[in-house]
Amino acid sequence: MRKFLAIMISNFINKLSKLFGKQGTVIGGSIALKIDPNILKKIKYPKYVIGVSGSSGKGSATKMIAGLLEHCGYSYAYNSEGSNAINGIASLILRNVNLKGVFKKDVLLMELDEKHSVSILKNFDLTHYVLTNITRDQPPRNAHPDYIYNEMKKNVKDTVHLIVNADDPIIYKLAYKHNLNTYYGINKNDYSKSYEYNYKDASYCPICGKKLEYEYYHYGHLGKYRCPSNDFYRPALDVHADNLDIDNKKISINGNEIKIKKNFFYTVYAYLACYALGVSIGILEEKILEYFNNIKQVEDPLMFTHNNRKWHILLSKSENNLSYKQSLGYLSHEKGTKTIVTGFNHCSRRYAENDLSWLWDIDFEELRDRTIDKIVIVGKFRYNILNRLLYAGINKEKCILVEDYTDELIDVIESQTLGNIYPIVCFDTSILLRELLKGDNND
């Protein structure tokens, strides 16, 4: 009776929430768990229960996997809105069961918050677990990569098939001695580096403690590594990317050339994770390649022209240095004169702490570039960011401080800067920027 009541009320509350203009992706699950804390243990799950987790890249990988499932004719449910903690996952599941608690789709696909996945997965078992990376991310919430590793390790049961980014030694450590693994990664290419990055989250062999040696790096601690005692090293790849031509949006996977939709290095990992997952559930390689090469090119809302100047908003996750690294790397390949916009008023929507230590993990030194006309720094922490840029050797004359994201910011950009405009901002701030520009004359 409690199961029936929890399912019925959850779905009613979700629908009611949407009628009032809310997303309705969390509240139904929250109420259902109050009615029956064990409701998720009472569901009959489908053949495939897939989780995707990691510090970054999980949203992109999950979205791409959803597209592959649709292309191949699977019915599926996934948390496309990004509600990836326990209440959101409960809402997702209960929206897709009948009143007897039987899941109605072929596949349950979930983007899972890496820290809170333990509270979710104590209720049911995954069949496949896609692992992207573990890096320093939101320190007040996630502490240290070792803490996240230990949390995620609790979810690695003997029966789960792990889809592992083998370029990340922390992620590979989760699969070490596990018997059911598919490894994906990127081989050496023109974008790989021989030098060690300033900030790495994995430096030592987890078996003997010796410092890992790298044949090459992609970024951060991702690359091809080996312990000098051969106790621990990147395993042979089941799914690998080669011949990367990011600028022209072309790569090859297992010898097959494909087109990618974004010219960011991290995008390659989303394709690899999707490919590896597809193979692991029995999708033919031909179908996966067909899907990749027929993904519709949709207009990117983050790229547009405003008053005859190109804008390209580069979404960069606050409190995550490798996310910023991708944006900085993208800028280095862009031609012409550039204006950079950065800054924020809060680090996170989830908590009140304003820890700024992560600013010192970002390689802002890469902004010492003659093609950059101005760096516009906006928001409550503008002086903190300015201080970091000055330590990075950025000329103070290039920096303009603006108090907040208001019409004044647009006026300053248009009257005091030159070239294409690249805001390096988090998702919330990107929405603010687009709201400011809405209603103006866009070409």
Q: In 262-304, which ranges are continuous DSSP H helix?
A: 265-280, 285-292
Looking at the fold, whether 224 and 312 belong to one and the same domain comes out as: no
> How confident is the model at residue 331, as a pLDDT?
92
pLDDT the model gives residue 245:
94
Report the pLDDT averaged over residues 159-188.
96
Q: And the tokens for 360?
A: 């010192």
d(CA 84, CA 209): 34
pLDDT at residue 24, as a whole number = 56
Tens of pLDDT, residue by residue over 386-401, are 999 999 999 999 999 9
Is the separation of the CB atoms in 61 and 130 below 8 Å?
yes
pLDDT in the model for residue 22:
57
What's the pLDDT score for residue 139?
A: 79
Please name the residue that has the structure tokens 């959850």: 10
Indicate if 289 and 392 belong to the same structural domain. Answer: no
Report the percent of the chain where pLDDT is more than 90.
69
Of the CA atoms within 13 Å of residue 69, those in its CB half-sphere come to 22
As a whole number, the mean pLDDT across the chain is 91
Residue 399 host element (H or E): strand 399-402
Confidence band for 198, pLDDT divided at 50, 70 and 90: low
Domain boundary among 259, 294, 329: 294
**What pLDDT, in 10s, does the model give residues 305-345?**
999 999 999 999 888 888 888 899 899 889 999 999 999 98
315/289 same-domain check: no
* Judgement on whether residues 364 and 229 belong to the same structural domain of the protein: no
One domain for residues 63 and 175: yes
Q: What is the CATH number of the domain that holds 77?
A: 3.40.1190.10
Q: How far is it, in rounded angstroms, from Cα 223 to Cα 234?
A: 9
Question: Residue 18 — very low, low, confident or very high, per pLDDT cuts 50/70/90?
Answer: low
Q: Is 425 helix (H, G, I), strand (E, B) or coil?
A: strand
pLDDT of residue 209: 93
Q: Which of 294, 322, 343 finishes a domain? A: 294
Residue 5 domain-assigned (yes or no): no
Q: Are residues 383 and 279 in the same domain?
A: no
- Write out the two tokens for 208: 């003997």
The residue ranking higher by pLDDT, 206 or 23, is: 206
Structural domain of residue 274, as residue ranges? 45-83+100-294
Total Cβ atoms within 10 A of residue 54 = 25
Q: Are residues 246 and 353 in the same domain?
A: no
**Cα(174)–Cα(151) distance, rounded to whole angstroms?**
11
pLDDT of residue 440: 62
- In our burial notation (b when 16+ CB lie closer than 10 A, e otherwise), range 121-144 reads bebeebbbbbbbbbbbbbbbbbee
Q: What angle do CA 103, 109, 111 make, to 5 degrees?
A: 135
Q: What are phi and psi of 179, to 5 degrees?
A: -95, -10
**Residue 427 confidence (pLDDT):** 86
Instruction: Look up the CATH number of the domain holding residue 395.
Output: 3.90.190.20
Percent of the chain predicted with pLDDT > 70: 94
| Same-domain status, 285 and 315 | no
- For the stretch 209-266, pLDDT in tens is 999 999 999 988 999 999 999 999 999 999 999 999 998 999 999 999 999 988 889 9
Asked if residue 207 and residue 169 are part of one domain, the reply reads yes
264 contacts 251 by C-beta, under 8 angstroms: no
pLDDT-derived band of residue 167, with 50, 70 and 90 as boundaries?
Answer: very high
Q: How large is the C-alpha radius of gyration of the chain?
A: 23
Residues 195 and 332 in one domain: no
Residues 405-410: contacts with CB under 8 Å, at least 24 apart:
405/345, 405/378, 405/379, 405/429, 405/432, 405/433, 405/436, 406/436, 407/436, 409/341, 409/376, 409/378, 409/436, 410/436, 410/437, 410/440
Residue 392: beta bridge partners? none
Residue 404, domain member (yes or no): yes
Lowest mean pLDDT among 135-139, 183-187, 297-301: 297-301
Q: Is 26 within the bounds of a domain? A: no
Q: How many domains does the chain have?
A: 2
- Give dist(CA 216, CA 194) in Å, integer: 5
pLDDT at position 199: 67
Domain membership flag for residue 108: yes
Q: Which of 422, 67, 59 is nearest to 269 (CA)?
A: 59
Residue 217 lies in a domain: yes
Residue at 30 is within a domain: no
Q: Is residue 249 classed exposed, middle or buried when 0-12, 13-18 and 19+ CB atoms within 10 A define those classes?
A: middle
pLDDT band at 410 (very low <50, low <70, confident <90, very high): very high
Place of tokens 């430096």: 203
Per DSSP, the three-state class of 402 is strand
Are residues 262 and 381 both part of a single domain? no
Question: How is residue 238 annotated by DSSP?
Answer: S
Residue 428: pLDDT band by 50, 70, 90 thresholds? confident
441, pLDDT greater than 60? no
Are 217 and 279 members of one domain?
yes
17 domain residue, yes or no: no
Which pLDDT does position 443 carry in this prediction? 47
In the predicted model, what is the mean pLDDT of residues 119-130? 96
Residue 27: inside a domain, yes or no? no
State how far the alpha carbon of 213 is from the alpha carbons of 166, 170, 315, in Å: 15, 15, 32
Tell the residue number behind the tokens 């090459």, with chain if given. 216
Of residues 140 and 365, the one with the higher pLDDT is: 365
Is residue 127 within 8 Å of 49, Cβ to Cβ?
Answer: yes
Examine the fold and report which residue of 232, 267, 294 is the final residue of a domain before the chain moves on.
Answer: 294
Q: Tell me, what amino acid is at 346?
A: H
Q: How many CB atoms lie within 10 A of CB 100?
A: 11
Signed CA dihedral, 27, 429, 300, 314: sign only: negative
* Range in 4-8, 56-60, 109-113, 218-222 the model is least confident about: 4-8
41-100 pLDDT, tens digit per residue, is: 999 999 999 999 999 899 999 999 999 999 999 999 999 888 889 999 999 999 999 989
Cβ within 8 Å of residue 192, ≥6 positions away: 186, 216, 217, 218, 223
- The larger pLDDT score, comparing residue 136 to residue 376, is at 376
DSSP per-residue letters across 29-69? HHHHHHH-TTGGGG-B--SEEEEEESSSSHHHHHHHHHHHH
